[in-house]
Chains A and B, each alone.
Chain A
Amino acid sequence: MHDLVIAAQQAGELKAGLQSIGAGIVYGAAAIGPGIGIGIVVGNAITAMARQPEMAGPVRTTMFLGIAFTEALALFGFVLFFLAKS
């Protein structure tokens, strides 16, 4: 009987632990792609601004748009993190 109680307790702990690991992986994996993507967007925007400083204004606006669209994926991961944890 005592063994059964311990087994049930361990199963609950296992489930909670796996949930935490899963949540961590969800956010970590979701951040990889956008991280690379934002790097590419900003890097190319800086190149463009350095080559043609007179176009810096429009380039900056477009850069923020690009960041916003790329970042959305990471933020979906952030929300899923909380969903997976609870």
Chain B
Amino acid sequence: MSLGVFVFPPIDELFRWKDIAFKGQFYAINKTSLLVMISSVLILAIFVGGSRRMKLVPKGFQNVLEMTYEFVDRGITRDVIGNDATRFTPFLGSLFLFILFLNFWEVIPFIQFPPTSRFAIPLFLALMVYVLYWFLGFKHQGIKYLTGHLFPAGVPLALYILVTPIELVQILLVRPFSLAVRLLANMMAGHILLTALALLTAYTLKNAPIIALGPFALNIGVTAFEILVGFLQAYIFTLLTAVYIADSLHAEH
């Protein structure tokens, strides 16, 4: 009986999917884009379907939807931006739900791939937020939005040599990049971890079935942990978006 060698597949193999339709075109559909489309349709169906025949006293399914809305409205919009900013709740709510649904594909059996672990999706979402907070900043504060960041008050004159470049890089590059990379890296790490444990289970099952219980139990535990991570990352992405929007609306004191 040969034990064989445990080989972990190259990273590309875990994240690159073959085109399903429109092969070779720029609009080719693969597993990632298919999951994104399914998620958007699913969210739309749940909320449009759930908001028909609304009752004053919510019951059952309507209750769940209202709790979701209130979670974003109270926990994120009102807490971070302010009580007068409920006009941002629809945007923040859709952002939260979209990321949440994409993240949860990671733990759905037989699908088990989070589309947010491909850089295009977090990057696009982060760029959307980037454009939004620059636009809001200039709309509400004018050029003071930029100068307030670059030349914060109360700093000794000589220190501006140090502070201004750091702040410039911060609002131009670090903010959107860290927003996108945070989501990407968390989901990517989770996917790699789950794959490694599943492969290890399959490998030990073939060679030493008793030891396989270890990675298998660990796999289940990590799956539960990934549900938490998926929720937390969606929450943090939305929370940071709200912080950046609040920063654009009101000048720092």
Which residues of A approach B to under 8 Å, CB–CB?
57-58, 61, 64-65, 67-68, 71-72, 75-76, 78-79, 82
Segment with Cβ contacts to A, from B144-152, B157-165, B179-187, B200-208 = B179-187
Contact in complex: A75, B186 (CB < 8 Å): yes
B189 at the interface (CB under 8 A from A): yes
Contact in complex: A64, B182 (CB < 8 Å): no
Cα distance, A67 to B232, chains bound together (Å): 11
Contact in complex: B80, A61 (CB < 8 Å): yes
Q: Is the interface of A mostly helix, strand, loop or mixed?
A: helix
Cα distance, A61 to B76, chains bound together (Å): 9
Contact in complex: B79, A58 (CB < 8 Å): yes
Total number of residue pairs linking A and B with CB closer than 8 Å:
37
Contact in complex: B11, A82 (CB < 8 Å): yes
B123 at the interface (CB under 8 A from A): no
Contact in complex: B185, A79 (CB < 8 Å): yes
Contact in complex: B185, A65 (CB < 8 Å): no
B240 at the interface (CB under 8 A from A): yes
Contact of B239 among A57, A68, A72, A78 (CB under 8 A): A68
Contact in complex: A64, B181 (CB < 8 Å): no
Contact in complex: B243, A65 (CB < 8 Å): yes
Contact in complex: A61, B181 (CB < 8 Å): no
Across the A-B interface, the 9 shortest Cβ-Cβ residue pairs: A75-B185, A72-B178, A78-B185, A68-B236, A75-B181, A75-B182, A61-B79, A72-B182, A79-B181
Contact of A68 among B80, B174, B182 (CB under 8 A): B182
B87 to chain A, nearest CB (A): 21
Cα distance, A67 to B188, chains bound together (Å): 19
Residue numbers in B under 8 Å from A72 (CB-CB): 174, 178, 181-182
